[in-house]
């Protein structure tokens, strides 16, 4: 981190590159998960997203978290 004259710290190019690489690595690891684990995460995301979606618009009858085993 390099300081600035206004006192606000800014990340240097090396730190930014490392943060971006970590993010890309996270996406790569998510993509390599076993398929049942991905489906389990999809259902978890459904549970998380549903209340947000419900606030924006009426839901279709099929827009519910799947009642399944992955």
Partner 1 sequence: MASFAGALRALNELKASGVVDEYAVAGAMALVFWTEPIPTFDLDVLVFLPEQPSPIVSLEPIYRWTSARGYASQSEHVLIEGVPVQFLPAHNALADEAIETAATLDYEGVPVRVVRAEYLVALYLEPGARTLKRRERAAALKESTSIDPTLLAEILGRFHLEP
CB of residue 14 to partner 1, shortest distance in Å: 23
Convert 22-52 to b/e letters by CB count within 10 Å (16 or more is b).
eeeeeeeeeeeeeeeeeeeeeeeeeeeeeee
Q: Does 22 bind partner 1 (CB under 8 A)?
A: no
| The one segment of 6-14, 15-23, 43-51 that binds partner 1 by CB under 8 A | 43-51
Q: How far is the CB of 19 from partner 1 (least distance, A)?
A: 17
The neighbouring-strand residues paired with 10 are 2
The residue count for binding partner 1 (CB under 8 A) is 25
């Amino acid at each position: 981190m390099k300081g600035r004259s206004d006192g606000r710290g800014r990340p240097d190019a090396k730190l930014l590159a490392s943060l971006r690489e970590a993010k890309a690595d996270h996406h790569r690891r998510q993509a390599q998960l076993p398929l049942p684990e991905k489906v389990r995460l999809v259902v978890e995301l459904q549970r998380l997203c549903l209340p947000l979606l419900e606030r924006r618009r009426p839901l279709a009858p099929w827009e519910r978290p799947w009642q399944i085993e992955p």
